[in-house]
Amino acid sequence: MNKLSPPHFSTSGLPRPMKTAGLILFLLTALAAAARTSTSSQPVIGRIDASKTGPPISPNVYGQFLEQAGGLIYSSLWSEMLRDRKFYYAVEPAPAGGGRPGFRGRRGGGGFFGRGGARPGDWNPVGPADSVVMDTNRPFVGEHTPLVTLAGSDSRGIRQTVINFVKGTKYNGRIDLAGDPTAKVSVKIVWGAGANAVSHTIPVGNLGQDYKRFIFSFNAENSGPGQFEIIGTGTGSFHIGAVSLMPADNLDGWRPKVIAVLRSLHSGVYRIPGGNFVSAFEWRNSIGDPDKRPPIYDPVWRAVQPNDVGVDEFMTLCKLLDVAPYITVDAGLGDEWSAAQLVQYCNGAAITPMGRLRAANGHPQPYRVKFWGIGNEMWGITYQYGAMSLNQFEFKNNEFAKAMRKMDPTIELIACGAMPDTMTGSRQSLRLGVDNLMDRFLNSRGSGVTSTDTWRSALGASFQSFIHSDLVPHYLSPEDWTGNLLEHCFNDFDLISEHFYNYGATHFSLADARQVPNDPDEPITDWMRRPANHIRLKYEEYQQYEKLIPKLAAHPKPLAIDEWAYFGGHYPTYPAYAWVFQEMFRHSGIFQMGCQTFATSLLAQHGTNVSLTANGLVFKLYRDHFGTIPVEVSGNSPQPTPTEPPGGEQPKVNAGSPTFPLDVVAAWAKDHHALTVAVLNPTDVAQPLKLAIIGAGLSGKGTLWRLAPEGTDTRHPTITSSPVDSTPRLLTLPRLSVSIYELLVAR
């Protein structure tokens, strides 16, 4: 294929030049309005034929995504209470007005998702400022270690403030110290201030020139913020290597209440550790003794990572949650040798080099990780660390696949894809297309185009033409990342990674080539449908690939939507999340995995209490009560015709069942003991539905599970259940509700 002049396929369904878009939009809008008017007087009927079944729904579509984005994991899932516990930053005096010194304007001061991460000024000196220096000659870990010089009976050391305790709770800690035997070091915890202060002091024992680990514990004497001090008296000096403090009830470092709530979702799979983070991640820094793992500056999220949560901790998390781990390897700045070593570390027997290292780290049994992703969004030229041209990544993908499968032939590899919708919405198609235009014109300039003004004029005209007619990549063109992986890497992956994000206040406009504000008069159903339309669009694109690449039909490459989310907006997003699931169920053979961004977004944490958000309740409702073998649903009220041309965020056919304004899906339970019917009402008024079910011998008994708001609070719906005493036929679905009817089969 000529990379500089890609072919245009008539099957692509791409938009015409935007000069005709106004007329097209007018006609489509009129037709859609007419269609809605013509059916408005008819009762909406949903027909279910339980004898016509589809491929099983994978439990992995309920999966989650975690990324070490700043302090995201440490602030919400990990039990460590001390910030910067391995002293990435220097110990500095607190400013006179309070707060953290040096934080404002300092690079690496937390970054995006930085809450909970290390920042300058986390540790302050106790005593004169010059009594604590950062020793670079004898660091315990990282680049430097605090060295405290003593002066008799005056307490000198370091402290950290605003640590929240719960009265009566037991806390366990450890500290690595080295120093003169004449130094008397203690850990001191202080609650309150002034005359009302309460403190607890724990001597840590005798020091020596070599580092020694000391273990301590205490029960909190008050609730609320306190301060933690490491102080010494006597003569000489002492080094503080690393220190840790956690509630005693932690589960191998993880917060037990958070684990219990996330485990209740039965998510199927967790994708870790990134995300953008993985493209500059050295996994070997994240194994072994946590206190000796170097804290590093993450250039992707511009934040400090302590490396406390690493490979083994993620495997423990997946075991606690009873989910399959899905590891993405660094195909950005990383290499195939390192990726293969990670496969062997996780899956190799204890007699292999990396398996022996894993066993030495306390994990003799292989983790048997099945799912492995090669890189994250390597098409993101404008932001992804280590991003590269498509042809280079095709080579890199295949080299990674060979090296990783050599270590374990049973693994399933997930390619780093980006279909035309992703390349359009991320605007990466513009970047790649401009690069191709520049290549063509540089070549043409050297082939007889001698006038600089002529060359610039021609380039500008071609660029405008590209913006208006080629923004959506043509299938198998140089801007179609997934299509080229299917063509050139077919045997070197098993699934395709695809991502999408939608935003409640904006949508992607093909005419403007960017996100634009939503129409304030946009119908609520259009707003709710937007992320489900992304699922529908990827289904349509996959169908085009099947036409263009015949072997794909015989050897499917299912989609792993391993990053997706809907953020913000006027309406609650939980009905939109439900619509995403129902659209996946309709195409269960293609969508075999989904990892929502982020697992932590499904949690509501208030003090020590943890619960599920409204979106989290959607995951729980479907996972607990919806079936696994989808059946055919038809109806008499088609979804409205799209009012925008396809591409970007808009499929050719709107997502949803022909039961507008409702959306209906149905599925058998795994053992066929019940038929489940899910009805989504994404509108803000109650909606009627006539339901007809054939092909199932139902008993007339069952249970209705419903997620719906109570009263006027639409942001905090609840799940309720009630008995079903007859096969439902005439239904009234409450506003903004998801209803799952579990209908038992007659025995």
Three-state DSSP class for residue 713: strand
Residue 490, C-beta contacts closer than 8 angstroms, at least 6 positions apart: 549, 551, 555, 557
pLDDT in tens, 143-173: 999 999 999 999 999 999 989 999 999 999 9
- Asked if 189 and 224 count as a contact pair (C-beta separation under 8 A), the reply is no
pLDDT in tens, 501-533: 999 999 999 988 899 999 999 999 999 999 999
Q: What superfamily in CATH does domain 123-247 come from?
A: Galactose-binding domain-like (2.60.120.260)
pLDDT in tens, 483-503: 999 999 999 999 999 999 999
pLDDT at position 117, please? 74
Residue 523, C-beta contacts closer than 8 angstroms, at least 6 positions apart: none
pLDDT in tens, 538-572: 999 999 999 999 999 999 999 999 999 999 888 99
> Which two structure tokens, joined as six digits, stand for 496?
């395709």
Assess whether the region 40-54+625-745 and the region 123-247 belong to the same CATH fold: no
Instruction: Identify the CA nearest to 218 among candidates 166, 163, 171.
Output: 171
pLDDT at position 606, please? 87
The CATH classification number of 40-54+625-745 equals 2.60.40.1180
Does the pLDDT value for residue 94 go beyond 50? yes
> Which two structure tokens, joined as six digits, stand for 478?
């140089």
- Give the single-character DSSP code of 30: H
Q: Which residue has the tokens 């073998």?
A: 629
Q: CA 530, CA 539: separation in Å to the nearest integer?
A: 15
**Long-range contacts made by residues 347-351, C-beta under 8 angstroms, separation at least 24?**
347/407, 347/408, 347/411, 348/407, 348/408
Does the pLDDT value for residue 696 go beyond 70? yes
pLDDT at position 197, please? 86
- Residue 446's pLDDT band, with cuts at 50, 70 and 90, is low
pLDDT in tens, 7-38: 322 333 333 333 344 443 434 444 444 444 33
Q: CA 721, CA 260: separation in Å to the nearest integer?
A: 22
Q: Which residue has the tokens 């504000």?
A: 517
Its pTM surpasses 0.95 = no
- Residue 462's pLDDT band, with cuts at 50, 70 and 90, is low
The residues spanned by each domain of the chain are 1-39+438-479, 40-54+625-745, 123-247
- Give the residue-averaged pLDDT of 41-68: 95
